[in-house]
Structures are given as C-alpha cells and as structure tokens.
Chain A
Amino acid sequence: MSDTTAQAGQAQRREVFSSRWAFLFAAVGSAVGLGNIWRFPYVAYDNGGGAFLIPYLIALLTAGIPLLFLDYALGHRYRGSAPLVFRRIKSWAEPVGWIQVGVAFFITIYYAAIIGWAGLYAVKSFTKAWGSDPDSYFFGEFLQFDETATFSTDFVPQIALALAIVWIAAIVVLAIGVDKGIGKVATFFIPILVVLFLIVVVQAVLLPGAATGLDALFTPDWGALTNPTVWVAAYGQIFFSLSVGFGIMLTYSSYLRPRSNLTGTGLTTAFANSSFEVLAGIGVFAALGFMAVQQSVAVDEVATSGIGLAFVAFPAIINEMAFGPAFGFLFFASLTIAGFTSLFSLMEVVVSAIKDKFNLPRKSVAIGIGTLMALLSLGLFSTTSGLMALDVMDKFTNNVGIVAIALISVIILDWILRRIDEFGTHLNAVSSFRVGTVWRICVVNVTTLVLGFTLIQELITLVREGYGGYTAGQVALYGWAVIALIVLLAMALSIIPWRGDTPLNGPPGSDFGVDPDIRRTVREPRRYSEQPLVDAPPAAPRTSPTARTTHTENGETA
C-alpha cells in the first residue's frame, strides 16, 4: 500500500506498517530498553520493595497508559512526524514538535554509545576480559576515563569501532523503511530478546543466594507509601520507561493504517513493557543476592543500578558463577538488543521530522542525518571524556528535556488549545477500549501536577548543587548548553517554510468523523426542549456520520 501514489505532482502516501504485529513489536521494542533492565529493579527496591507495586500500578494506569494513548491519538490522527503533527494542530505549536526532535536527537547520540559498550561486553564475556577487578577495568582500561577533561580528543579505538558499527546498523534499518526496516527488525529481535532474557532470569534464579536477593527486592516497606518521593519515583519510572511525551510513540503511530485499534494496542504495549521490567527485577536481584551471599555482605551493599550495575556488578557476578561466560553473553546480548530496538525508534523521530519538513526521500535523510549524528556521537562519546559527557547529557535530556517538553505539550494541547476531547473522541472512533472523563483528568491534571512537581524539584537541585560532582564547565557544556541549543534550533527550524505541498492545517486525510474545529457560537435564542436531539432519523444508531454535528462540543464520549 505504501507504493500507492496520488494524483500527478502529489507526494507518495505516508508509509504504513503492514500489520498490527509489526507495529506492536516496534512499539514494544521501543518501550523496552536499557531502563527496563538496569533502572526498574533498583527503583523498586529503593522505593518500598514489594509495596512499590501500588504506586507503580497507579502511575501506570493514571499517567503511563493515558499519555501513551494521547501519543497514539496525535500521531494517528495527524499522520506526521512530531513537528508536522503540532503544526497541523496549531501553526504556532510547531516548535513543540522540534523540541521533541531535539531531545530525541541528543538521547540517540549517547544511547548508541552504551549499546556499543554492551555489544563489546557480550563478546568480552567469553574470556571474562575484565579480569578480577571489573570496576577498574571498566573505568580504566576499557573507557580510559578522564574525569577532569571537559572535551577530549583522545579516541578509544575499540569503542569508536563498536560505536561505528551500531550507527551503521541503525542507519541501515531506517534507510530500508518503516515496515521492511523497523517493523521486520523489531519482529525478528523482540522474540529473541524475550527468549534470551528468560534464559538469563532462570539461570539467575537457580543461583545459590537468589532467594536472599528476591527477599530484599520484594519484602514490602509499607511505610514508604506515605513518602512523596516514592510516588514521584514511581511516576518517573513509568514515564521514562514507556518513552511517552517526546515524539517516539507519536511518530510510530503515524505509520498505522487508518483503522487501527489504538487503545487496545496501547494497553498491550504498556503491559508488555511493565512485564519485562518485572522479569528484569527478578533476574537482577536474584543475581545480586548470589553476589551478596558469595561476598558475605548484605544485599544493600551490592544493590545498584545503571552503568554500575551492568558493567561493574554483573561482570563480578559472572566471575563468580558457574557457566559465567554463557550467562554474561546472554545478559549483554539482551542489553544490546533491548537498546538497539529503542535506538532506532529514537532516531526515527529525527529522520521522520527532517523527511517531512524538507520533503526528502527516506533513504537520503536516514544516511545524511544518520552520518551527522554518528560523527557527533563518535566525537563526543568514544573519547576519554565520553562517560562524563554521556552522564551529564543523560541527566539533562531526560530529567529536564523530556519532562519539560511533555509538560509543555500537555499544557498547550489542553490547557491552552482545549483539544483533548478531539483526541479522546478520535481514540473512541476507532478503538475498543473507550476513554472519557477519567482519561482526560489523568492526562491533563495528574500528569501536569506530577511532571510540574518533578521538573521544579529537579531544576532547583541542578541549579543549587550542579550534578554528579562534575565541574561547572562540564555541566554547562553538556547540560545547559544542550538544552539551550535544542530550544534555539526548534525556533529556527519552525521559521523555515515547509517544502513540497504537504497539507499543514488539520488532519491531512480523513477527519475520522471527528471535527477538529468545533466552536461555540451564538445564534437566535429558542426554547431548548423543542430542539431535536439528533439530526439523524430516529432509528439510526448514534454511530451515524451525522451524529457528530450535534453534541460534540460537550465532548463526553464514554
């Protein structure tokens, strides 16, 4: 269908995923990333253990899933990349889309580096190349980390090589296209990831001491539920893990066919993402329990997250266990695959936006922008200052960039433009799981409160205390300057006119029977009870196309 061309002089129709499976695997591949494996287990452990289930589930139902539905509705209804969708909703809203693209751009360039490391560690697992001291190996011999340098030009050859391979792979996937590239690769890799990771978890649970680790993870601390930071942590985990609010799911859903069960697919994506996290929690803490027992220390002394968990704690666990090399390979291969399927979803946000704006063919954009991103990524993250740049950029693009732009999007879409009912009605027009007032309250009120609180708290801490013990120059360059650059580029790109004859106002194709431009108008007064309720004939169901002309302004649909 993607080959269908319109009338002479018209561009090709937007690409589509050929099946709901291709989209579902792509969306799950995007949602399941490094954060599921290395962030969730520690966040759960640190915020109430077993009791974390309650804030986590509430955050999933009141923020994660509602925002995911919103992203799906935006992309599906306005069928474009993030800037195009916001341009079509309201002409002055275009910069919101470009800020999302900018955030995705910078996350992509450092995210690739971690995938490169994980790929190298998968190979190194066979020989346990890190020796008896994984910590000094990782920071010393492997990264040759120089924490004092603000900008280093000393390249670390093997990291540069691994990074280049990751970039070539990502560019190839995106150049091939949405269905045959993204869809096929995700459909191939996600089942493999599940199988590999299941083997890792089973192997971890069978280790001596696994029960100690699981005991530490799941013993509930009910007192934690009264602590606001635990709730903020739950919302943060759901929010970052599902990758909502900065263009990824919006871009993917713009490639769905018109008749797609959006909410049904969204629920499955969200629960699949959380299911993987729970699985990772079990695997990671079983392994940490084994390590604690081996070293005769408490679990809290070995429990950690992020880079330290994957590249320091896990190599130490692999050193001590039977079949360590096989376990290590499977663990790092899982990390590589989970990261890679998220990487190309991030990069697609950028590729799709440039392709739409400048009316260029996918292949040229993927190769052109991909090469630019790859060079920037190699220059910043394969050098001896790479880890510092990565750490600072990660903090700022996530905790400031994503949170701020998600908040701004919600404020513009509903607080200012009052369009949430349009998106809700669109969802209900094509989807099995209906949304209504509760959904609107979750999207508009709950997320505004939670994201607003998180952002203010984060900004105060960053301004007062800096970040991670880095120098002011390092934080200014890779943190604040990156944010400023994203905003400036977003403004600049919004001024440049759209090339080609892309429709720029309203839904580009069908309005799905939902009018985007309903306004209350004043007409001649008349007796209210004498007005006909519905224009349609009495026997016709409410689904009649004429029904939309009546009470859509009230907006309540479910």
Chain B
Amino acid sequence: MSGIAIMMMVLFMVVIWGGLVASALHLRRNPDDMSGIHGDAEYARDEILVEQELR
C-alpha cells in the first residue's frame, strides 16, 4: 500500500470510528431523564408525560 492510501485509510477509520466513540460517550454522559431543556424538571418527568398520554 502506498503512503497516501494508508494515510487515507487511517483517516477514514479515525474520523468515522472516532465519531462513533465520541457519540457513544456523549450518549452515556446524557441519560434520557436528564437531557434537553427540560433537564430533570419535576414537571417533565417521564411518568408525568406518560400520564398526559392516557385520557
């Protein structure tokens, strides 16, 4: 393999697989119940939103 081909292969792997690792870490750091503008607000807890679904 030529130098440039090896470089591009490594770059491909670093960018795409790195993106996967970064987004997986980001997801782990941001649990469902704490994320977003609603954050951990009492009025936006999952159970309360579920209740609004039941008529």
Contacts and interface: CB of A to CB of B under 8 A. Distances in A.
Contacts of B35: 259, 261, 264, 430-432
Interface string A157-174: 000000000000000000
A6 B7 CA distance: 59
A257 B48 CA distance: 11
A510 interface: yes
A177 interface: no
A542 B37 CA distance: 9
Given A214-B1, A268-B20, A432-B36, A257 B50 contact: yes
Contacts of B15: 53, 57
Contacts of A473: none
Contacts of A268: 20, 23-24, 26-27
Nearest to A212: B1
Contact of B37 (A264, A271, A543): A543
A218 B36 contact: no
Residue from B8, B13, B17, B48 having most chain A Cβ neighbours under 10 A: B8
Given A261-B31, A432-B35, A278 B53 contact: no
Contacts of A14: 53
Contacts of B36: 261, 428-432
A75 to B, nearest CB: 14
A274 B5 CA distance: 19
Contact of A543 (B5, B11, B24, B38): B38
B38 A430 contact: yes
Interface string A36-53: 000000000000011101
B6 A218 contact: yes
A264 B26 contact: yes
B41 to A, nearest CB: 6
B24 to A, nearest CB: 5
Nearest to B46: A259
Given A211-B1, A214-B1, A268-B23, A20 B16 contact: no
A513 interface: yes
Nearest to B36: A430
Interface in B21-55: 22-24, 26-27, 29-33, 35-39, 41, 43-46, 48-50, 52-55
Nearest to B27: A264
B49 A258 contact: yes
Interface string A215-243: 10111100000000000000000000000
A249 to B, nearest CB: 16
A261 B8 contact: no
Contacts of A260: 32
A463 interface: no
Contacts of A308: none
**Which of A7, A261, A282, A557 is packed against the most chain B CB atoms within 10 Å?**
A261
Contact of A215 (B1, B37, B49): B1
A432 B50 CA distance: 20
Contacts of A20: 27, 32
B20 A218 contact: no
A509 B52 CA distance: 5
A433 B23 CA distance: 10
A543 B49 contact: no
B6 A267 contact: no
A274 B16 contact: yes
Interface string A2-35: 0010110010011000001000000000000000
Nearest to A14: B53
A50 B9 contact: yes
Contact of A258 (B24, B31, B50): B50
Contacts of B29: 432
Given A219-B5, A264-B35, A431-B36, A7 B11 contact: no
Most chain B beta-carbon neighbours within 10 Å: one of A277, A428, A510: A510
A259 B32 contact: yes
A278 B27 contact: no
A432 B1 CA distance: 41
B50 to A, nearest CB: 6
A13 B46 CA distance: 14
B54 A215 contact: no
A138 to B, nearest CB: 31
A512 interface: yes
A8 to B, nearest CB: 11
A454 B49 CA distance: 41
Nearest to A268: B23
Top 7 nearest A-B pairs (CB, nearest first) are A50-B8, A509-B53, A432-B30, A258-B49, A267-B23, A510-B52, A271-B20
30 contacts: A4-B54, A7-B55, A13-B53, A13-B54, A14-B53, A49-B8, A50-B8, A53-B11, A214-B9, A215-B1, A218-B6, A219-B5, A258-B50, A258-B53, A259-B38, A264-B27, A267-B27, A268-B23, A268-B24, A271-B19, A275-B17, A278-B12, A278-B16, A428-B37, A432-B29, A509-B54, A510-B53, A512-B49, A543-B37, A545-B43
